[in-house]
């Protein structure tokens, strides 16, 4: 089973071919192709990291854009009558991984 570790938006994701991954928001249109640099690639027993990768790329297709679930941020200072509530929803882009480990040689 071939898999790779990619980086998108400051986060790292483990991906296989055919996976749909929610990465932080990208500016690509729905249906367009995107490429990610592989930080690590494995194909069964061989694992390649860093310079041994030789510029391997992971390609995917943008499926859709959306917003995640709401995260509530609540601040309170006891005995001071201070309470503050904020909410946040992170934008994301769903990407279907088409190929793992295509070299750019």
Distance CA 47, CA 39 (A): 11
Q: Are 4 and 38 in contact (CB under 8 A)?
A: yes
> How many domains, the chain?
1
pLDDT for 62-94, tens place per residue?
Answer: 999 999 999 999 999 999 999 999 999 999 999
Burial tier of 11 (Cβ tally within 10 Å: 0-12, 13-18, 19+)? exposed
Distance CA 71, CA 57 (A): 33
Structural domain boundaries, residue 67: 2-102
Other beta carbons less than 10 A from residue 64's beta carbon: 12
pTM over 0.95: no
What tokens appear for 94 in the block? 């769903």
55 pLDDT band, cuts 50/70/90, is confident
Q: Are 52 and 40 in contact (CB under 8 A)?
A: no
């Amino acid at each position: 089973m071939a898999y790779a570790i990619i980086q998108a938006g400051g986060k790292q994701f483990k991906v296989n071919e055919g996976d749909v991954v929610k990465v932080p928001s990208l500016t690509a249109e729905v249906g367009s192709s995107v490429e990610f640099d592989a930080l690590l690639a494995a194909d069964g027993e061989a694992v390649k990291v860093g310079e041994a990768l030789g510029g391997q790329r992971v390609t995917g297709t943008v499926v859709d854009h959306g917003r995640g679930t709401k995260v509530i941020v609540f601040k309170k200072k006891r005995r001071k009558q201070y309470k503050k509530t904020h909410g946040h929803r992170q934008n994301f882009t769903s990407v279907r991984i088409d190929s793992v480990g295509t070299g750019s040689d």
